[in-house]
Amino acid sequence: MAREVDLLAGLVWEEVGGAGVPDKGVAVGGTVADAGAEGRQAEASLDPPVPPDIGRPHPDRARQFMPFAALRGYYDLVHAKEVVPEPRRPLADDEARALDGIIANLVRGDVVRCRYYEDGGYRVAEGAVSQIDLTFRDLWIVRRRIPFSATQSLEMLYPAG
Protein backbone atom coordinates (compact mmCIF):
# COMPACT_ATOMS: atom_id res chain seq x y z
CA MET A 1 0.00 0.00 0.00
CA ALA A 2 2.88 2.35 0.78
CA ARG A 3 4.40 1.72 -2.66
CA GLU A 4 1.13 2.69 -4.40
CA VAL A 5 1.03 5.92 -2.45
CA ASP A 6 4.60 6.70 -3.52
CA LEU A 7 3.73 6.10 -7.21
CA LEU A 8 0.68 8.32 -7.03
CA ALA A 9 2.49 11.12 -5.17
CA GLY A 10 3.85 12.71 -8.39
CA LEU A 11 0.50 12.70 -10.24
CA VAL A 12 -1.35 15.92 -10.88
CA TRP A 13 -5.07 15.57 -11.47
CA GLU A 14 -6.73 18.02 -13.80
CA GLU A 15 -10.39 18.84 -14.18
CA VAL A 16 -11.79 17.86 -17.60
CA GLY A 17 -14.49 20.16 -18.93
CA GLY A 18 -16.26 22.05 -16.17
CA ALA A 19 -16.82 25.75 -15.63
CA GLY A 20 -13.47 26.93 -17.03
CA VAL A 21 -13.99 25.46 -20.54
CA PRO A 22 -16.71 27.06 -22.70
CA ASP A 23 -19.01 24.90 -24.84
CA LYS A 24 -18.62 24.77 -28.63
CA GLY A 25 -20.08 27.73 -30.45
CA VAL A 26 -20.41 29.89 -27.32
CA ALA A 27 -19.23 33.45 -27.80
CA VAL A 28 -15.99 34.16 -25.96
CA GLY A 29 -14.99 37.80 -25.83
CA GLY A 30 -17.30 38.72 -28.71
CA THR A 31 -16.13 35.93 -31.09
CA VAL A 32 -17.33 32.38 -31.62
CA ALA A 33 -14.95 29.80 -30.09
CA ASP A 34 -13.10 27.45 -32.47
CA ALA A 35 -14.74 24.02 -32.17
CA GLY A 36 -11.58 22.20 -33.39
CA ALA A 37 -9.37 23.91 -30.81
CA GLU A 38 -11.82 23.03 -28.05
CA GLY A 39 -11.86 19.39 -29.16
CA ARG A 40 -8.04 19.24 -29.21
CA GLN A 41 -7.84 20.84 -25.77
CA ALA A 42 -10.36 18.36 -24.38
CA GLU A 43 -8.49 15.39 -25.96
CA ALA A 44 -5.17 16.60 -24.59
CA SER A 45 -6.55 16.92 -21.10
CA LEU A 46 -8.03 13.37 -21.24
CA ASP A 47 -4.58 11.81 -21.53
CA PRO A 48 -3.41 10.79 -18.06
CA PRO A 49 -0.24 12.55 -16.96
CA VAL A 50 2.91 10.39 -16.97
CA PRO A 51 4.99 10.51 -13.79
CA PRO A 52 8.59 11.54 -14.55
CA ASP A 53 10.11 8.51 -12.80
CA ILE A 54 8.29 5.95 -15.01
CA GLY A 55 9.97 7.07 -18.25
CA ARG A 56 9.02 6.66 -21.86
CA PRO A 57 9.47 3.50 -23.96
CA HIS A 58 12.73 3.33 -25.89
CA PRO A 59 12.33 3.77 -29.70
CA ASP A 60 14.31 0.58 -30.42
CA ARG A 61 12.24 -1.53 -28.04
CA ALA A 62 10.70 -3.56 -30.87
CA ARG A 63 14.16 -4.65 -32.01
CA GLN A 64 14.22 -7.31 -29.29
CA PHE A 65 11.28 -9.05 -30.97
CA MET A 66 13.02 -9.39 -34.36
CA PRO A 67 13.51 -12.99 -35.51
CA PHE A 68 16.83 -14.53 -34.60
CA ALA A 69 18.71 -16.56 -37.19
CA ALA A 70 21.36 -18.67 -35.50
CA LEU A 71 22.66 -19.94 -38.85
CA ARG A 72 22.98 -16.95 -41.14
CA GLY A 73 22.43 -17.94 -44.77
CA TYR A 74 21.12 -21.39 -43.91
CA TYR A 75 17.69 -20.87 -45.44
CA ASP A 76 19.22 -19.51 -48.65
CA LEU A 77 21.25 -22.71 -48.97
CA VAL A 78 18.20 -24.86 -48.29
CA HIS A 79 16.19 -23.05 -50.97
CA ALA A 80 19.08 -23.37 -53.41
CA LYS A 81 19.10 -27.14 -52.85
CA GLU A 82 15.37 -27.32 -53.57
CA VAL A 83 15.88 -26.07 -57.12
CA VAL A 84 16.03 -28.92 -59.60
CA PRO A 85 18.90 -28.28 -62.04
CA GLU A 86 17.94 -28.06 -65.67
CA PRO A 87 20.13 -30.15 -67.97
CA ARG A 88 22.24 -28.19 -70.44
CA ARG A 89 21.32 -28.68 -74.07
CA PRO A 90 24.26 -28.70 -76.50
CA LEU A 91 24.01 -26.49 -79.58
CA ALA A 92 23.57 -28.04 -83.00
CA ASP A 93 26.18 -27.19 -85.63
CA ASP A 94 23.93 -24.79 -87.55
CA GLU A 95 22.89 -23.03 -84.30
CA ALA A 96 26.56 -22.66 -83.30
CA ARG A 97 27.44 -21.15 -86.73
CA ALA A 98 24.52 -18.71 -86.53
CA LEU A 99 25.54 -17.70 -83.00
CA ASP A 100 29.17 -17.17 -84.12
CA GLY A 101 27.93 -14.96 -86.98
CA ILE A 102 25.86 -12.79 -84.65
CA ILE A 103 28.78 -12.45 -82.20
CA ALA A 104 31.16 -11.52 -85.03
CA ASN A 105 28.83 -8.69 -86.14
CA LEU A 106 28.24 -7.27 -82.65
CA VAL A 107 29.58 -3.84 -81.80
CA ARG A 108 29.73 -2.02 -78.53
CA GLY A 109 26.37 -0.36 -77.76
CA ASP A 110 24.14 -2.90 -79.51
CA VAL A 111 21.11 -3.85 -77.43
CA VAL A 112 20.72 -7.62 -77.32
CA ARG A 113 18.81 -10.36 -75.55
CA CYS A 114 21.00 -13.30 -74.57
CA ARG A 115 19.85 -16.66 -73.25
CA TYR A 116 22.66 -18.45 -71.40
CA TYR A 117 23.24 -21.32 -68.98
CA GLU A 118 24.31 -20.49 -65.42
CA ASP A 119 24.04 -22.24 -62.04
CA GLY A 120 22.00 -25.19 -63.25
CA GLY A 121 19.45 -23.27 -65.31
CA TYR A 122 18.92 -20.95 -68.24
CA ARG A 123 18.89 -17.20 -67.65
CA VAL A 124 18.03 -14.29 -69.92
CA ALA A 125 20.02 -11.06 -69.98
CA GLU A 126 18.85 -8.05 -71.91
CA GLY A 127 20.79 -4.82 -72.35
CA ALA A 128 23.54 -2.97 -74.16
CA VAL A 129 26.76 -4.74 -75.09
CA SER A 130 29.51 -3.08 -73.10
CA GLN A 131 32.42 -5.27 -74.20
CA ILE A 132 33.22 -8.20 -76.48
CA ASP A 133 36.35 -9.94 -75.23
CA LEU A 134 37.65 -12.29 -77.94
CA THR A 135 40.75 -13.24 -75.93
CA PHE A 136 38.80 -14.67 -72.98
CA ARG A 137 35.74 -15.39 -75.17
CA ASP A 138 33.33 -13.36 -73.04
CA LEU A 139 30.38 -11.15 -73.86
CA TRP A 140 29.64 -8.33 -71.41
CA ILE A 141 26.05 -7.11 -71.30
CA VAL A 142 26.08 -4.00 -69.14
CA ARG A 143 28.03 -5.42 -66.14
CA ARG A 144 27.21 -9.10 -66.57
CA ARG A 145 29.92 -11.40 -67.93
CA ILE A 146 28.61 -14.20 -70.15
CA PRO A 147 31.06 -16.75 -71.58
CA PHE A 148 30.59 -17.64 -75.23
CA SER A 149 30.47 -21.33 -74.22
CA ALA A 150 27.44 -20.69 -71.96
CA THR A 151 25.48 -18.74 -74.60
CA GLN A 152 22.45 -20.57 -75.94
CA SER A 153 20.94 -17.87 -78.15
CA LEU A 154 21.58 -14.23 -78.97
CA GLU A 155 19.03 -11.86 -80.45
CA MET A 156 19.73 -8.32 -81.69
CA LEU A 157 17.08 -5.90 -80.40
CA TYR A 158 18.50 -2.51 -81.42
CA PRO A 159 21.70 -1.78 -83.32
CA ALA A 160 24.10 0.84 -81.95
CA GLY A 161 24.07 4.24 -83.49
pLDDT digits (tens, 9 = 90+) for 84-101: 889 999 999 999 999 999
Longest alpha-carbon distance in the chain? 98
pTM: 0.52
* CA 29/CA 7 separation, integer angstroms: 41
pLDDT at 30: 47
Closest by Cα among 16, 6, 10, 5 to 50: 10
In sequence order, the 6+-apart residues with CB closer than 8 A to the CB of 99 are 91, 151, 153, 154
Least trusted range by pLDDT, from 37-46, 75-84, 120-129, 140-149: 37-46
Give the whole-number percent of the chain exceeding pLDDT 70: 57
Q: pLDDT band at 149, cuts 50/70/90?
A: very high
d(CA 154, CA 104): 12
